[in-house]
A and B are shown apart, each in its own frame.
Chain A
Amino acid sequence: AQSVTQPDIHITVSEGASLELRCNYSYGATPYLFWYVQSPGQGLQLLLKYFSGDTLVQGIKGFEAEFKRSQSSFNLRKPSVHWSDAAEYFCAVGEVKAAGNKLTFGGGTRVLVKP
């Protein structure tokens, strides 16, 4: 069965500093990987996704993620954090079925941004 681990429950970062969120996955085949962001009381917004090809993926809001098969990781990065980046971030792995992708989410990492 597929699984996703986000080792950091909370991360506090100063505005303007860099951010890296860790994600490790377990999946039997080539994974489909996603990062979602959730603001309090809001839905899930897709930041970026990896299906195949270039292992460095660019997303929205200045985020990027790198797929490393040897480490089973898909870490999310942002060079300079803005106060509006305070939110919860979920890494997810997609299971390809005959129709559609069922997502398995990690436990999430809550990011706090200090002024």
Chain B
Amino acid sequence: AAGVIQSPRHLIKEKRETATLKCYPIPRHDTVYWYQQGPGQDPQFLISFYEKMQSDKGSIPDRFSAQQFSDYHSELNMSSLELGDSALYFCASSFWTPLEDTEAFFGQGTRLTVV
């Protein structure tokens, strides 16, 4: 079965550079979520999109922006990178229904290292 695809898997950037992370959701999933997991930390919610519109926002720095495109893939853009941005960035997708039984499926993550 198709899963959530994230690219790249690993990324090394220097301070003050920019980075773009991509997420391809499971086919027919209409909702995408981004999470940041720092070293030894639990994943923290950044932002989510439903049908290409931002649906929720968490602790996402102003230096970061994201969007969901017409094909439902999403990109997380990170500018003026700081050492503290080094983390594993997860994308998850789900298909929203009014029913209760929904769950998010996670990608393998993109490991960003800022040097």
Contact = CB atoms under 8 A, between A and B. Distances in A.
A105 B103 contact: no
Interface string B71-115: 000000000000000000010101010001111111111010000
Interface residues on A, range: 20 to 34
A100 B90 contact: no
A46 interface: yes
Given A43-B90, A105-B42, A100 B96 contact: yes
B58 A102 contact: yes
Contact of A106 (B42, B90, B103): B42
Nearest to A91: B42
Interface residues on B, range: 20 to 34
Nearest to B4: A43
Interface centre among B51, B55, B103, B109 (most CB of A within 10 A): B103
Given A90-B43, A97-B55, A97-B56, A103 B100 contact: no
Contacts of A107: 41-42
A41 B88 CA distance: 9
Interface string A40-67: 0111111001011000000000000000
Given A44-B43, A100-B50, 17 more contacts: A41-B111, A44-B90, A44-B106, A45-B106, A46-B105, A51-B100, A90-B42, A100-B94, A100-B102, A101-B94, A101-B104, A103-B43, A104-B45, A105-B42, A105-B43, A106-B42, A107-B42
